[in-house]
């Protein structure tokens, strides 16, 4: 069976069963995968998607650049169809040639928490996790481990 169909089957089973141990299982495989996974070898999230920027993120990064918030918004961000602030284009303008983040200490909350697989209430963000499988090889590895648990 193709991987994407297998992952879809796991997500469907999880949604149907609503396992009480889902957060614990996700957190366990998150830790296992990130023991060996180096995000700097990939950076696909930074190359293909934009984080959602909250007001605190915007103010913090604008301040670090000594820019007015309005100038920062004009230069880097736009509102998407949901009304969220996102980058005007991909890849991230702060991604270095060596896949390092040029604003790492000040990066947005969404970047700090990516791929969001060690959060509480994983059942509530399964749709986001399903999208992240296509972006992040670490999430794909997590799904392969979870298939053994839930299929």
Counting residues of the chain whose pLDDT is more than 90, the rounded percentage is: 91
For 3-137, where are the E strands, in sequence order? 77-79, 85-87
Determine contact, residues 122/17, Cβ cutoff 8 Å: no
Task: For residue 133, count CB atoms less than 10 angstroms from its CB and return exposed for 0-12, middle for 13-18, buried for 19 or more.
Answer: buried
Domain count, the chain: 2
pLDDT of residue 5: 75
pLDDT tens, residue by residue, 44-83: 999 999 999 999 999 999 999 999 999 999 999 999 999 9
pLDDT of residue 1: 62
Q: Are 120 and 107 found together in one domain?
A: no
pLDDT of residue 62: 99
Q: Are 56 and 108 found together in one domain?
A: yes
Q: Are 108 and 121 found together in one domain?
A: no
* Sign of the four-CA dihedral 120, 125, 126, 129: negative
Rounded-to-integer distance, Cα 48 and Cα 36, Å: 23
- Look up the domain containing 102 and give its range: 50-113
pTM: 0.89
Determine contact, residues 134/11, Cβ cutoff 8 Å: no
């Amino acid at each position: 069976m193709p991987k994407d169909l297998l992952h879809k089957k796991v997500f469907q089973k999880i949604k149907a069963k609503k396992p009480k141990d889902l957060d614990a299982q996700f957190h366990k495989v998150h830790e296992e995968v990130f023991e060996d996974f180096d995000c700097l070898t990939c950076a696909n999230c930074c190359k293909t998607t934009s984080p959602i920027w909250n007001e605190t993120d915007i103010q913090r990064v604008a301040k670090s650049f000594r820019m007015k918030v309005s100038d920062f918004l004009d230069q880097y961000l736009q509102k998407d169809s949901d009304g969220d602030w996102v980058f005007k284009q991909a890849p991230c303008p702060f991604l270095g040639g060596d896949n390092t983040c040029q604003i790492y200490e000040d990066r947005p909350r969404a970047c700090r928490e990516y791929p969001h697989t060690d959060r509480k209430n994983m059942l509530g963000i399964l749709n986001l996790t399903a999208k992240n499988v296509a972006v992040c090889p670490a999430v794909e590895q997590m799904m392969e481990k979870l298939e053994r648990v839930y299929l």
